[in-house]
Amino acid sequence: MDIKIKIIRKGNTGYKKIYLCKIPTRKGQENGKKEILNQYDRR
């Protein structure tokens, strides 16, 4: 499955990842509707 993400680099502290589609609950449920579901900082 191709989950589209947008990554914004944030210097040395890690990066922010923004999902552009809804993450499906299980295989075969890939009809995402939401545009942005989640964003978080990874360090």
Partner 1 sequence: MEKKRFLINMTEDEMLRFYKNQMVEQGILSCTNFDTTVNLKDFGYAILENYKDKILDLLYKDERIADVTIDKELNVDMVFYTDYCPYYYDVDDTLNNSNIVSRLAQSRILEEFSSYYAEKCLFNKPYITTRELINDFIESQNLDIEKKGFLSNFLKMNIIESGFVEKYIENTEVYVTPKNYKEFEKVLLKQCKEIENNNAQEDEEEIE
Residues 17-36 that bind partner 1 (CB under 8 A): 17, 23-27, 29, 34
Nearest CA to 3 among 15, 26, 19?
19
12 contributes a contact to partner 1 by CB under 8 A? no
15 contributes a contact to partner 1 by CB under 8 A? no
- R_g over Cα of the chain: 12
16 contributes a contact to partner 1 by CB under 8 A? no
Task: Kindly state the helix (H) or strand (E) to which residue 19 belongs, with its residue range.
Answer: strand 15-19
Residues that bind partner 1 (CB under 8 A): 1-3, 17, 23-27, 29, 34, 37-38, 40, 42
